[in-house]
Every structure is written in C-alpha cells, then in structure tokens.
Structure 1
Amino acid sequence: MSSSFDKFQKRRLISSYFSVVLSIFLVLFLLGTLGLFIINSKKLADDFKEKIAMTVFFKNEANDTILKSFGTELKRAPFAKKIVYVSKEEAAKVHTDIIGEDFLTFLGENPLQNSYDIHIKADYVEKDSVAKIERQLRTNNPMISDIVYDKQLVNLVNDNIKKVSMWILIITCFLTFIAVLLINSSLRLSIYSNRFIIKTMQMVGATKSFIRKPFVMRSVKLGMLGAALAILALIGLLSYVQTNFPDLGILDDKGLILLVFIAVFGFGVLITWLSTHFATQRFLNLRTDDLY
C-alpha cells in the first residue's frame, strides 16, 4: 500500500515539474522569438527600403563616356547601395518579353533611353533625403532626361515602419507581463502543494532561509531547464529560417542573437527565483489555520 502511494506521489511530483518546465519553455520561446524578430526587424525594413529603385534616364545625346562617368560617380556616392546600368537595347528586349511582341518592327526605331537603376541605402530612403538626391543628380548632370521613383511608396514605407515599430513595442511589453504572470502562477501552484511541509518545517524550528533555499534552488533548476529547451527551439527556428530564406541573412548578427539567448536564460532564472522566493515567503508568514 505504501509503495503504491509513493509511486502516486512520485508521478504527481513529476507531473508538477513537467507542467512548470513546459510553461516556462513555451513562454520563454515566445519571448525569444519576439526578441529575434525585433533585432531583425530593422534589417527586414532596410531590405525592403533598398528594393525601391530610383531610375535615372539619359538623353539620347549622352555618349558612352558620359554614361560611364556617371556610373563611376555613383559608385563613390555614399547613398548608393547598388547600381544597375540598363541600355536602351536591353530595355527594349525586356519590353518585348513583357508585351509578347517586338514593338520595334512597327515603330522603326527604339524610343527607349539608356538608364541607371539606383537602389538607395536604407538610411537615405526618406522623403527629404531622396528629394535632395534627385536635385543633386539633376544639377550635376545636365544630360539627365528624367528621374523616376515611387514617391508615394517611399512615404508609405516610412509611415508604416513607424507604426509597426510602435505596435511591436506595445506587444513586447504586454507579452512580457503575461509571461511573468504565467510563470509566477505555475510556480505558486507548485509551492502551494507543499504548504504543509513548509509550515511543519517552520514549526520544528527551521529558519525561513533554510526552508526557502531548497524550493528556490529547485525552481531555478526548472527555470534553467525550461530556458535551455527554449534556446534549443530558437536555434532550430533560426536554422529553419536560414535554410528556407537565406536572403534574409538572419544569422548575420551573431552577437545580438547570443544576447537574446543570454536574456532568455537570464529571464528564466530570474523570474523563477523571484516567484519562488515570494511564494514561499507568503506561506511562511501564514498562520497554521490559514493553510486550510
């Protein structure tokens, strides 16, 4: 009979530990995922900004020397991330592929112009900065026929990035608060099941720190285990994203990724230590009658 009861107690204890570790793991994994998203959000936003191209068209009178000189000038420009020269012959071929027929046969000549597609660095993709770049190019190069880019898209991208950043901050604060509550509740329930043991130890003369220490150490170990599992899951998530979306370069900032892992581990240890400390303190301060 005693053996059956001991097995029941052991299963109950393992079940309690499992639920605590699982709750810590899920919460820390969610927070870690959010942290990884935050450190990569600027990279994602910059990558999107740099896909916006400014196309510079040249007059037909512009010869190869002028075009090459302009290309050399762009390579030295601090705002240029990437430049692509598109001759009017290449542009005609692209248009032919798009419309499905050779428009040069009935026009008799190529009406398109030589051009450069300029992908501007993300820091310069602002309304005023792009307008300044446009004015500078027009002033320094009289052979430029026209400069075209999506002005509305530039404004829309910047406005939306600011809104998304604000919501990310709000969601981060909310999830952190929920994480603290969930982990704290799981640990409080675990301590609650041992409230009679705590009070018995106190009644036989054990000090509060002596009683509290094993519970705190156990919870910290569970927190470390949950954090370690969360970090392993985050590594798996990073590997999956890197394998399937290599262009994102999600593993480029290894220092920041390591910082997120350290923060996840530290948060797991800190919250379990604090929650267990205050939970045991609460039952230590209760009268015996209040335990029921």
Structure 2
Amino acid sequence: MKKKKLGNYPHTMVVFSITLALFIIGLFGLLLIHAGKLSEKVRENIEMQVYLERDLTEVQLVRLKKTFAAKEYIAYRNDTAQVRFISKEEGAKEFLSDTGEDYTAFLGDNPLRDAYVLNIDADHSSSPNLKSIKLDLEDIEGVYEVQYVESLIESINSNIKRISIILLGFASILVVVVIILINNTIKLALYSQRFLIRSMQLVGATSYFIQRPFLNRAAWQGIMSGIIASAMLFALMQYAYHEISELQLLRDDEQTYILMGALLLIGCIIGFLSSYRAVRKYLRLSLDELY
C-alpha cells in the first residue's frame, strides 16, 4: 500500500478546477478591456465643428490650426492632432453629394464658411466638459461659431455609463463566485488529508510544520493554473483577431498582460488563503468531528 505524503492530494483535479475558474474570470476581464477600448474609440470620434470668420488669410488659418492642436482636449492618433480643415468649397461639394441640390446655382454665392473639425479626447468627452470646450473655442480670435450634436453626445455618455455599471456588477459577482469555487475545490481536496493532519498533530508536529507543505503546494497550483488560463486566453485572442480583423482596433496589449499577471496573482493568493483556512479548520477539529 502506497504511503500518504503530507500535502499530497489530487493535483490534476485541483489545477483543472482553478484553471477553469481563472479562465472564466479572464474571459470576462477581456470583455471589459475590449468594451473599455470600444467606449474610448466612440468618445474619440466625438467631433466639434468650428466655423471661422470670413476672409481669413492662410497665415491666420495655420495659426488657428496650431492653436487648436495645442489644446489639451484635442484627441491624438499616432502623435498627430485630430484637427481637420474643411474649406467652404469642400463643404459645398459634400452638401451637393449628400442632398443632390446645388444651392449656389440660385444663390449665386457660397454662403458656407471655412471650418475646422476637431476630435475631442475621450477623457474630456463628458457633457459638462464639452460645454466648457465650446466656450473656450468661441473665445479664440477668428472663430465665428462652434457646434456639436449635444443630444447625441449625452445619449452616448449615458449609454456608456449604464453599460459600464452593468459590466462591473457582473464582474464583481463573477469574482465572488470564482473565489467560492476555488475555495471549495481546495477544501474538498484537503478533506482526504484530515486524518493525516491529525496524525501529525499527535506525534507533536507544530501547526507551521503541518501547514507549510499544503500552503506551498496550493500557491504553486494557483500560479500554474494562472499560467495555463493565461495561455488559453492568449490562444483564444489570437484566434479571434485572426478571424475578426476589426477586433485589432480594440486591442490593448498592456492591459491584457496586466490581466494575465492578475490571474497568476489571484490564483496564488486564493489558493494560499483557501488552503490556510482549510488546514486550520482540520487542526482545530476534535477526532470525533473528523468523521
């Protein structure tokens, strides 16, 4: 008959269970990361139309562009300020293309103004900030009027806030469920060791000596499970990016690596604490209570 070793309990079953739990929480974490990136992209596409005074010189137009680009609330992509100039001639062509009506034919003149279209940074896209930005831009010399679709912006911000609250609520519930699942898995695995723990107590082993192999094993199982869960998530992401190329726009490697590191830490900490609680429980039980 094979002799039982202290801290030796079903390894594969525990690692599989913890890996599955961490994979689920990692999957939801990826959903939150991509949802956050999508929210950021939507907010960065918020535009303000800055209509200019008539008959501005080229020098004045260039100076205005530099002034706009220097503002802290302007969105940047690839180190380029998202400031786009639309001349009144281009505006007339767009209007003709959209409506099919050439108003210059009966007006005899182009009543549109030159304009700059500004993309606002996601961090400054709340409704109060946009109102302040509008006032700030209208104070700049050469600016005639600033417009943006206020009702649409409020609707976008409201929906993003509502979705974020719902996702965070689900994430909180999921974390609690995963902690309970891992805790119960380790408790069940340690159940088979309860008599061995009592035997060690009876021969005079200290609590620390008895707990140490269980805690070390549980911590390594948590780390191993985190590594396997992270590898599975990475493989799933690469497959998703290959199959749906548009998802690459929502990719955030830095946050993804932080998530994977968090899975290792969560697995290690929960495994350690769950094992500590379970062993302490069996150390305190009387012989009759072990049956």
- Normalising by structure 2, we get a TM-score of 0.77
Superposed CA deviations along residues 68-120 of structure 1, whole A, max 9, x for unmatched, are 33223222333322111112333333344444x46368656555432211112
Give the superposition deviation at 1:164. Answer: 4.0
Aligned to 1:248: 250
Moved >6 Å (runs of 4+) = none
CA gap 1:131/1:214 in 2 versus in 1, 3 angstroms: closer
**In structure 2, the residue corresponding to 1:140 is in which secondary structure?**
coil
Retained in 1: the 8 A contact 2:53–2:142? no
Report the identity percentage. 29
Q: Which residue in 1 is equivalent to 2:120?
A: 120
When residues 240 and 203 of structure 1 are mapped into structure 2, their CA distance, relative to the original with a 3 A threshold, is: same
Could you tell me how far apart the structure 2 residues matched to 1:210 and 1:58 are?
79
d(CA) in 2 for partners of 1:152, 1:105: 31
Alignment map for 1:89-168 (pairs within 5 Å)? 89-99=89-99, 101=100, 103=102, 107=106, 110-141=110-141, 144=144, 146-168=145-167
Q: How many residues align?
A: 277
Tell whether the 8 Å contact from 1:31 to 1:175 is kept in structure 2 after alignment.
Answer: yes
Give 1:55 deviation, angstroms: 1.0
What is the TM-score normalised by the length of structure 1? 0.77
Structure 2: runs of 5 or more not aligned = 76-81
For 1:207 and 1:139, the matched residues in 2 are separated by 76
In 2 relative to 1, CA 270–142 (structure 1 residues): closer, same or farther, beyond 3 Å? closer
1:175 aligns with 2:177: no
Helix, strand or coil at the partner of 1:56: strand
Task: Show structure 1 runs of 5+ residues with no match.
Answer: none
Mapped to 1, the partners of 2:220 and 2:189 lie a distance apart of 14
**C-alpha distance in structure 2 between counterparts of 1:288 and 1:143, whole Å:** 85
Compared CA separation, residues 102 and 76, structure 1 to 2 (3 A): same
SS in 2 for 1:54: strand
Equivalent AA in structure 1 for residue 46 of structure 2: I
In the alignment, which residue of structure 2 is the partner of 1:54?
Answer: 48
Question: What is the identity, as a one-letter code, of the residue corresponding to 2:61?
Answer: L
- Return the offset for 1:208: 3.9
What one-letter code is carried by the residue in structure 2 that aligns with 1:124? Answer: H
8 Å Cα contact 1:61-1:143 kept in structure 2:
no
Q: 1:57-72, aligned counterparts within 5 Å?
A: 57-58=51-52, 61-62=55-56, 64-72=58-66
RMSD, matched Cα: 3.4
Following TM superposition, by how much is the alpha carbon of 1:51 offset from its aligned partner in structure 2, in angstroms?
0.5
Shift of 1:274: 1.6
| Separation in structure 1 between the aligned mates of residue 63 and residue 232 of structure 2, nearest angstrom | 52
